[in-house]
Amino acid sequence: MRLTPYLASAALLLTPAAHAQTVAAAVALQQHRVESVDARASGRLVMVDGTGKRTTYKFILKTHGFPDGVRLLEEVQTPEPMRVLIHLEPSGRVTARLAHKDAAGKWIATDVLPGHISDPLVGSGFALEDLVDSQFFWKDQSLAGRAPCGSRTCVTLQSVPSSAEKTQYAKVLSSFDEKTNAVLHVVKTVRGSGEVKDFTCFDLRQSHGVSAATQIEVKISGKPGSTLFLIDHGSAKAGLTRADFDITSAKLTGPEPKDGDF
């Protein structure tokens, strides 16, 4: 499950195998992969500091492509549980809402201001905007090469945002397997500072005919340690509806085990 969303992250689902010979074809493949997502997952967000000390939070995540864009809802079990709802519009615009429990245990949601889309998820190396692959919807796209990725061959797309894009990044390099279209490696350069965030996807699996990376690690240049996004269980065919994306619902449930899941 490619949660880088790379998470997506996500960024969990992939299209059938095809070869991208042009920029337009490569972008279309990745846009379709993102827009056709229908997944649930449960796992762990693990932050490793420079000494090797680990802080682990469990999470539940679900994401689905609707006609008006992709929605991703994640609940992270921190000492004070929090939820985030990301909406990736067809234009590539990303908006978000956050929710926390009040004293009575009720979920209260607030909108995230555009300038805070780059805020980290519970202090991890993943920013809120990293939970969806909005870079594939930016207008400036180019092929940056075709080269081996371990035992696979990857096509690399370079995505550059316009001045109107509400993103912290100056450019993003996304390398995907030319046979499965699975994104395996992403390098994001931060505007102004030149800081580099390096995302690597591991442990590809199959769910309902879809390739999925169940581990994603992000390292940030000049900073010790890393963050791991680990999927313990997931389904690439969840059958989600709009009702599943109520950020203030009483309970967010993980995927129920069934044939074809991982």
Q: Where are the domains of the chain?
A: 23-137+202-215+224-245
Phi, psi for residue 95 in degrees, rounded to 5: -125, 165
Task: Evaluate whether 30 touches 18 at the Cβ level (below 8 Å).
Answer: no
Sequence-separated (6 or more) residues with CB below 8 Å from residue 177: 149, 152, 153, 154, 184, 211
Q: What is the pTM (predicted TM-score) of this model?
A: 0.88
Residue 69 confidence (pLDDT) above 50: yes
Residue 101 confidence (pLDDT) above 90: yes
pLDDT of the residue at 19? 45
Residue 107 confidence (pLDDT) above 60: yes
Sequence-separated (6 or more) residues with CB below 8 Å from residue 4: 10, 11, 126, 130, 133, 183, 186, 199, 201, 216, 218, 229
Cα separation of 142 and 58, whole Å? 37
Phi, psi for residue 104 in degrees, rounded to 5: -90, 0
Dump strand ranges (E) for 161-239: 169-177, 183-190, 196-207, 210-220, 226-235
What residues does 88 pair with on adjacent strands?
70, 94
pLDDT of the residue at 256? 67
Residue 1 confidence (pLDDT) above 80: no
Handedness of CA 81, 87, 92, 93 (dihedral sign): negative
pLDDT of the residue at 21? 65
Average pLDDT, the chain: 88
Residues above pLDDT 70, as percent of the chain: 87
Over the stretch 113-159, which tens digit does the pLDDT of each residue have? 988 999 999 999 999 999 999 999 999 999 998 888 888 899 999 99
Place of tokens 């994640």: 74
pLDDT of the residue at 18? 41
Q: pLDDT band at residue 14, thresholds of 50, 70 and 90? A: very low
Q: Which two tokens stand for residue 91?
A: 């234009």
Cα separation of 202 and 247, whole Å? 29
Residue 81 confidence (pLDDT) above 50: yes
Task: Evaluate whether 68 touches 93 at the Cβ level (below 8 Å).
Answer: no
Place of tokens 């490619």: 2
Q: Which CATH code for domain 23-137+202-215+224-245?
A: 2.50.20
Residue 10 confidence (pLDDT) above 70: no
Over the stretch 153-210, which tens digit does the pLDDT of each residue have? 999 999 999 988 889 999 999 999 988 888 999 999 999 999 999 999 988 777 666 7
